[in-house]
Structure 1
Amino acid sequence: MDKKKKGQEIENLVIWMLKSLLCAYIISGLLLLLLTFLLYKFNINEGKVAAGIIMIYVVSTFVGGFIIGKLSGTRKFLWGLTCGILYFALLLLVSLGVYRSLQGDGANVVTTFLLCAGGGMLGGMIS
C-alpha cells in the first residue's frame, strides 16, 4: 500500500471517529435534557439520577461504538473500544476544566471508564 492511500485511510478513520464521538455527545445531551426534565417534573431521588447518568454514559458510548463500527467495517470492537475511551477522556477533561479537580473517588472514575469503554466496545461488536 502506498503512502498516499494509507494516509487517506487514516484520515477517513479520524473523521469517522470524530463523527461517532459527536453523535455520542449529541445523544448524551439529549438524554441529559430528558433526565433533567424528569427530575424537575417528578422530583426523582439522587440514587435514581446517578443511575440515569450512568445509563446515559453507556447508551451514548454504545451509539458511538455502533457508528464507528459500521463506518470502519473491520476490527469493529477495537474501534468501538477506542470511541468509548475517547468519550471518557473528553468527559474527564471537561470535568477537570470545570471543577479543577476530580469529582468523586477513584473507584467512581475507574467504574465510569470501564462503563464507557465497555459500552463503546459492545456497540462496535453489535455493529
Structure 2
Amino acid sequence: METERGNGKRKGEGQMKAEANTKTRYEVADPVKSMGIALFCMFVVSLFLLMLLAFLLYKFDLGAGAVRGGMIAVYVISGMTGGLVLGKRMKKQKFVWGLAGGLLYFVILLLFSLLMKRQLDFDFTNVVTTLILCGASGMAGGMIS
C-alpha cells in the first residue's frame, strides 16, 4: 500500500484503482471510438433533420429551392455536430479531427448514394460542393468545441 504525502494515511486499493482509471484533462480519447461516436451522432441528427424536412415538404408543399436549402442545412448541422463531438473527445487539434469527421461523413454518404443508384451519373459541381460543406462544417464544429 502506498502512503499519501503530508498526512501519512494509506490509500485503499479501491482508491488507487479509481485514480488509475481517471483521465487527466489533456489526455485524448481513442480516435476510432471517438470517430464512431461522432459519425453515429451525425447520422442521428441527419435522420431527425431529414424527417423534419420531409414533414415540412408534406405540409407546406415547398419548392425545389427550399429542398436544396434544407439539404444544405442538414449537411452543415450534421457536420458541426460531428465536429463538436470529436473536438470535445479528442482535446487536441480539434479542427483537424472535425475536418476528418466531416470528410468521412461525406464519403459514407457518397458510397451509400452509389450503392443506391448503382451508377456514376453525378453532377461534379454538386459533389464538390457537398464535400466542401461537409468538411468545412465539421472543421467549424471542431473549432468551436
Provide TM-score, normalisation by structure 1: 0.89
Instruction: Give the CA deviation at 1:12.
Output: 1.1
Give the share of equivalent positions with the same residue, in percent.
49
8 A Cα contact 1:69 1:77, kept in partner: yes
**Structure holding more helix per residue:** 1
Cα distance between partner residues in 1 of 2:49 and 2:28: 31
Query: What does residue range 84-123 of structure 1 map to in structure 2 within 5 Å?
Result: 84-102=102-120, 104-123=122-141
Q: Which structure: larger Rg? A: 2
CA RMSD of superposed structures (Å): 1.6
Q: Distance in 1 between matches of 2:114 and 2:42?
A: 20
Gaps in structure 2 of 5+ consecutive residues = 1-26
Where do 4+ consecutive residues of structure 1 move more than 3 Å?
A: none
SS in 2 for 1:80: helix
Gaps of 5+ in 1: 1-8
Q: Does the 8 Å contact 2:56/2:62 carry over to 1?
A: yes
The higher relative CO (CA closer than 8 Å, separation ≥ 6) is in 1
1:42-71, CA deviations, whole angstroms, 9 ceiling, x for partnerless residues?
000011001100110010010000100000
Map residues 1-127 of structure 1 onto 2, 5 A cutoff. 12-102=30-120, 104-127=122-145
d(CA) in 2 for partners of 1:73, 1:10: 6
CA distance in 2 between counterparts of 1:25 and 1:53 reads 14
1:109 and 1:117 map into 2 onto residues whose CA distance is: 12
Q: How many correspondences in the alignment?
A: 119
